[in-house]
Amino acid sequence: MDPRNAEKQQEPEEPRYLSFKHLPDGTMRDGKLALNKFSSTLTNAHDFPGAQAMLYAAGVPDKTAMKTAPHVGIASVWWEGNPCNMHLLDLGKEIKANILKDGMLAWQYNTIGVSDGITMGGEGMRFSLQTREIIADSIESVTCAQHHDACIAIPGCDKNMPGVIMAFARHNRPSIMVYGGSIKPGYSETLRKPINVSTCFESYGAYVYKTLKGQEEGKYTPEEIMDDIEQHACPGAGACGGMYTANTMSTAIEAMGLTLPNSSTTPAESPAKMRECAKAAAAIRICMEKDITPRKLLTKRSFDNALVLMMALGGSTNAVLHLLAMAGTAGVPLTLDDFQRVSDKIPFIADLAPSGKYLFADLYDIGGMPSVMKYLCAAGLLDGDIPTVTGKTLAENIESYPSLPQDQTIIRPLENPIKATGHIEILRGNLAPAGAVAKITGKEGLKFTGRAIVFNKEHELDTALSEGKIPRGENLVLVVRYEGPKGGPGMPEQLKASAALMGAKLDNVALITDGRYSGASHGFIVGHICPEAAVGGPIAVVRTGDTITIDAEKNRIDMDVSDEEIQMRLRDWEPPKPTVTRGVLAKYARLVGDASHGAMTDLF
């Protein structure tokens, strides 16, 4: 596939600027585009004297700066208590310092997030997906209310990246994303090997099924092994280190041109990440000078680039939700069929966790994302001609980076892939007439048939696993329902269950849900089943004992039940009472759309 031959999307209409009438020289100064065209609404003349008084108090140094300096908002998704985000305030300070050196005004502010790793498997996980909307709402609100001329956003954990890009698409002012970066690998003395957060969840499955053993059998008890893993899996700041959701989204967004080169693979605690922050100040000036706005970068061509990277590197199923929502916000036509179209043509070539051996720290050591993109551009799979926030094309950005080393083993040759096509399969059938998303690397096979065991909530399955009640031998399809966007509510990730199955080596089991999985999940898993159970989708009437077939070759997911029987069951079905009736989750459940359209809350 050559995305460069794709039909170019018609450029979206520019938003109505609020500030042109206040600019003393129109929109141009000295033959150049005025950089303070939004903030001048407040700072020109004396129309808003109170605003100017408060801006002087906040740090504007003098009248010249008040009248001419552009205002750059620096939005960090910072909070303490989560390694993905705990360092982002410091990155923001470095960006601010360099913006001030460049003669611009910089205003740091914050938005919220939820730690997926900490909330995984608990009720707190229901709040995770909706933070994507809160992040987008927050950045849009501050940017527009404060009349910022540009925005630099610093995300860390999973929902952060799509949240900031959705905000960029809404306010459509010159913007750059600086990814917080990945965590260092951990190391376990008891297992004598590198570990990461996914090890915790998979070891739990082995622990429950009494198969957890250290490197030196008998030297350590299972409790000592678990203690060691928990204490050393996350050795510092940064997002989860494999091709999990955070890194899936950061690489996709870099391939779309909305970050500086190598942002997605530069480690969180490296000096290079601080240097990236310094470079962001210069880049945001270029964006303002050249009027490079997000919706000029968020095109069908750039989304195709994101899909190519996602398939080649084995990205998270969550990226389907997030890319659909990003595209929907930007007005770009993107559907489930686009994911299947790209997956059918792009080989899976990266030996990265969770299904593979390596982490992003290893990828950085062999050249990082620019070297990977250089390889894919040379093969004609990635569109190097798209514009980017640097003012150059993607191909120009990566030209100076080295090619992948000949002896590296992380990225396989295209002619010798792990799987000849992508790992993401879009399934439809009588169980998911509006679509479902499967993550199938080929290591688990391409077809699975088994007897259904139905759980009405994730915690029911977690309890069965913790009590060792999922038997070996017979092929089983574990069905977890009422965990979709509305039914959850919040569509919680189910890494605890999927990882426990892998850790216990229950390879006779497939797992399907109207909820979703973590980027760290692997195995024979299908999520995002649509329509979800809470709105009367067919998954609501699956019964324990039904036979379910998942066929990735035919892109089908079906239960061995006739259409007439399904309709009869649906007529007898009664929707459950909402589990949450007030607060943010109740509001989210009322507003959210279905998974096949990105679980957006602003579809009107």
Tell me the whole-structure pTM to 2 decimals.
0.93
Please compute the mean of the pLDDT values over residues 571-598 and round it to a whole number. Answer: 95
Q: Are 204 and 148 in contact (CB under 8 A)?
A: no
pLDDT tens digits, one per residue of 55-66:
999 999 999 999
Per-residue pLDDT at 445 = 82
For residue 517 the two structure tokens come to 């999985």
Per-residue pLDDT at 14 = 39
Average pLDDT, the chain: 92
pLDDT tens digits, one per residue of 141-174:
999 999 999 999 999 999 999 999 999 999 999 9
Contacts of 132 (CB under 8 A, 6+ apart): 159, 162, 163, 166, 322, 325
Between 7-21, 206-220, 268-282, 292-306, the lowest mean confidence (pLDDT) is in: 7-21
For residue 554, pLDDT beyond 70: yes
Which is nearest to 589 in space by CA: 513, 481, 491, 493? 491
Per-residue pLDDT at 27 = 52
Contacts of 229 (CB under 8 A, 6+ apart): 188, 190, 191, 195, 199, 200, 203
Assigned CATH for 424-597: 3.50.30.80
Residue range(s) in the chain whose domain bears CATH number 3.40.50.2300: 62-183+239-398
Between 97-101, 269-273, 368-372, 471-475, the lowest mean confidence (pLDDT) is in: 471-475
Please compute the mean of the pLDDT values over residues 297-324 and round it to a whole number. Answer: 97
Active-site annotation holds for 518:
yes
pLDDT category of residue 34 using cuts at 50, 70 and 90: confident
Residue range(s) in the chain whose domain bears CATH number 3.50.30.80: 424-597
Contacts of 53 (CB under 8 A, 6+ apart): none
Per-residue pLDDT at 280 = 97
Catalytic residue (one of 76, 115, 188, 518): 518
For residue 599, pLDDT beyond 50: yes
* Number of neighbouring beta carbons within 10 Å of residue 577: 6
Please, what CATH class does the domain formed by 62-183+239-398 belong to?
Answer: alpha beta
pLDDT > 70: percent of the chain: 93
pLDDT category of residue 519 using cuts at 50, 70 and 90: low
For 56, the 3-state DSSP assignment is: helix
Pairwise CA distance, residues 359 & 246, whole Å = 13
